[in-house]
Amino acid sequence: MTQPHEFDPQLLSEVAALPAMPGVYRYFDAEGAVLYVGKARNLKKRVSTYFQKSHGGTRIGLMVTRIARMETTVVRSEAEALLLENNLIKTLNPRFNILFRDDKSYPYLKLTAAQAPAGKAPAGPAPAAHAATAFTRMAYYRGATEKKHHYFGPYPSAWAVKETMLLLQKFFRLRNCEDTVFNNRTRPCLLYQIKRCSAPCVGHISAENYAQDVANAERFLRGQTQEIVTELERKMQHHAGLLEFELAAELRNQISALSKIMHQQSMELGGKNADVDADILAVKLHGGKACVNLAMVRGGRHLGDRPYFPSHVQDASELAALQTDEAASEAAKSVESMVLEAFIAQHYLDVPVPATLICSAPVDKLLIRALSAQSGVKLAAIHQPREQRRIWLDMAQKNADLQLARLLAEEGSQQSRTRALAEALDMPLDKLDTLRIECFDISHTAGESTQASCVVFEAHKMQNAQYRRYNIDDITPGDDYAAMRQVLLRRYTKLAEAARHNEARLPDLVLVDGGKGQVSMARQVFEELGLDLGLIAGVEKGESRKVGLEELVFADGREKVQLGSDSAALMLIAQIRDEAHRFAITGMRARRAKVRMGGSKLEDIAGIGPKKRASLLQRFGGIRGVASASAQDLATVEGISRELADEIYRALH
């Protein structure tokens, strides 16, 4: 059969010249967008299949007809090709690959490195400016890691980290206070009183004994609880032999608490030979959507679950099936396996991988070998597990089912709301997936720190990455109409010009939080810019300002519309308006706090350099403490004269 599409002869000659070697290929459309990234053990044979066969009206055919350019990279092995392929998928976001997006980094539990030599700390407050560095601090952490500190995780959620921190406080009494607070304590805090901290800040424990508690905490996090209990029992007997019964009783209580944790873990793990560190991966497919549920076990403790929802599953599964033609053994690979392999390859590029992966579908052994070589960890991927591993997998599979059902329900509800709004406003119903709504709100406190927000709703959901805040200046404080005029001019002046040249797209609906006054101001701006007045609608509070009685006010002269409290369209409008209000008020509060607490920053005050700034922050425990101090208190800091103290006080107030 002949191809229904004529390809560029240059492209076909490039395909014919490809080597019979392992590599990675990328397809691009005429606009330069990446269509697909694939790997091959034989580039020439693999890529040729796309151009030599007729794919009809399939998804493969749709993609092939859009190929305008191709790039290839030759590598040394198929394993290397596999890793490069998934690196490129995460970087390029191709249209026809299974793609997992992770919009936030994983949280870790951080134990800072002690930087002072071990020894007994003197009684009373910390004697030196950096005494806190002698005592390890535990903290919740996200971001890039440093080699000098110890990090445990990653954890599936912030809640899991904080729960672990509570356990460490209970069992080992580690501190979690900031160094500036630590260095300025003169007496123990409440955590010491409730036996959740050993108060190293005031010398109630030596650096040597505190370091031992830290070492035990690290062993606990690695699942070595029995070793800790054995050592504590030895110490308890030693103190009892010396008739130090109070110390022995404290150790007894600690042993009892740890024993309860050990019993709980043995129930969960099903014996001593169970995995200490493992990830359980369960996949569920339904309605063209997929969910991969990741459950984490670290140090013998089940830390929780985290769901992932890949995109392009339908497109990618058909294209991936084409790649299995090279090996008959791979011909029966399921979509579940393809989704799991895509997750494993993309997810563990950036996240530490445990030694055991328990999977709901079989995965390619080549992928596991490649991942082992990259991570330096000997991996085992287990399909069809038994005993406790089966219980874990069944739980993960159930969570995947529930999470996917929730997603489908939410998407169906959101799409029905979009349709209801379009019907209520007589908008076209054939392009609901691209319907774009922008909503504006103004926020200030009695005219102070005025800020405007613009939030965006598109593709049936809020598009957080497209939100914008605008600082409003040069208006009469409290003049919301002038603020609305300024933000609309700043938002649409350039956009309107670009839209006239087909270089940008205007929204299908512009919502302003307010009634006739705000709509009138928006109308003036749109008239000046030559924009369609039919785009503007104001959300006016109804009678008694009750929720559900809102009315829509239009700039083009249409009658008001009251949608009704049970209207799906009103639910969508309320959702967008409330999000605009939330985004505006959080920005306004942050700006107000910066003005009130920071004034001009400390370093911007004449006469304040890095040393004086550090002395002030250290003495008062941070900028809030400096701001709340009197001029007389500020003058007690070394290097701060009374005149400079007065200047600092004025700047911060």
Q: Please tell me the distance from the alpha carbon of residue 396 to that of residue 159, in angstroms, as a whole number.
A: 18
Site of tokens 């006016």: 540
Co-location of 584 and 643 in the same domain = no
Give the Cα separation of 252 and 534 in Å (integer). Answer: 75
**Of 536, 568, 590, which one is at a domain's C-terminal end?**
590
What does 495-563 look like in DSSP terms, one character per residue?
Answer: HHHHHHTTSS---SEEEEESSHHHHHHHHHHHHHHT--GGGEEEEE--GGG-TT--EEEETTSPPPEE-
Confidence band (pLDDT; 50, 70, 90) for 437?
very high
Of 304, 331, 318, 342, residue with least CA distance to 161: 304
Give the tens place of pLDDT for each residue, 579-617: 999 998 887 777 666 555 444 467 667 778 778 887 887
Q: Which pLDDT score, from 0 to 100, does residue 272 have? A: 46
Listed as own residue / partner, the contacts of 72-76 with beta carbons closer than 8 Å and 24 or more positions apart are 72/18, 72/23, 72/24, 72/25, 72/26, 72/43, 72/47, 73/23, 73/24, 73/25, 74/19, 74/21, 74/22, 74/23, 74/43, 75/22, 75/23, 75/24, 76/22
Task: Give the count of domains, the chain.
Answer: 5
Q: Are residues 132 and 181 in the same domain?
A: yes
Tell me the pLDDT band of 235, cut-offs 50, 70 and 90: confident
SS3 for 295-347 is EEEECCEEEEEEEECCECHHHHHHHHHHHHHHCHHHCCCCHHHHHHHHHHHHH
Residue 2, pLDDT score = 43
Spatial contact of 569 and 423, defined as CB atoms under 8 Å apart: yes
Tell me the pLDDT band of 268, cut-offs 50, 70 and 90: very low
CATH number at residue 377: 3.30.420
Same domain (yes/no): 570, 603: no
Burial class (CB in 10 A: 0-12, 13-18, 19+), 611: exposed
Residue ending a domain, among 38, 62, 92, is 92
Domain membership of residue 210 (yes or no) is yes
What tens digit of pLDDT does each residue of 285-313 get? 887 788 999 998 887 777 888 899 888 78
Nearest to 193 by CA among 169, 216, 165, 161: 169
**Nearest C-alpha neighbor of 116 from the set 98, 102, 136, 101:** 136
- The answer to whether residue 427 sits within a structural domain is no
CA distance 28 to 50: 14
- 482 and 542 both lie in a single domain: yes
603 in the same domain as 564 = no
pLDDT for 327 beyond 50: no
Residues 442 and 496 in one domain: yes
Are 579 and 616 found together in one domain? no
63 and 152 fall within a common domain: no
Instruction: Check residue 56 and give its pLDDT.
Output: 62
Residue 237, in any domain of the structure: yes
In the chain, what percentage of residues exceed pLDDT 70?
85
Q: For the chain, what percentages of helix, strand and coil (3-state, to nearest 5) are there?
A: 50, 15, 35
With respect to residue 29, please indicate whether it lies within any of the assigned structural domains.
yes
**CATH number of the domain to which 483 belongs:** 3.30.420.340
Q: Residues 385, 291: one domain?
A: yes
Q: Do residues 454 and 510 share a domain?
A: yes
pLDDT tens profile 488-506:
999 999 999 988 888 888 9
- Is residue 255 domain-shared with residue 357, that is, in the same domain? no
Instruction: For residue range 92-129, list pLDDT tens digits in order.
Output: 888 888 888 765 567 888 999 887 654 444 444 444 43
Domain that includes residue 286, residue range: 278-404
Whether residue 3 is contained in a domain is answered as no
Looking at per-residue confidence, does 362 or 244 come out higher? 362
Q: Is the pLDDT of residue 333 over 80?
A: no
> Considering the domain boundaries, does residue 101 fall inside one?
no
| 423 in any annotated domain | no
Residues 551 and 637 in one domain: no
Q: Which two tokens stand for residue 614?
A: 């550090």
Picking from 31, 64, 92, the residue at the C-terminal end of a domain is 92
414 is a domain residue: no
- Under DSSP, the state recorded for 434 is G
The CATH number for 634's domain is: 1.10.150.20
Q: State the pLDDT confidence band at 271, using cuts at 50, 70 and 90.
A: very low
Q: Is the pLDDT of residue 521 over 90?
A: yes
At 510, is the pLDDT very low, low, confident or very high (cuts 50, 70, 90)? Answer: very high
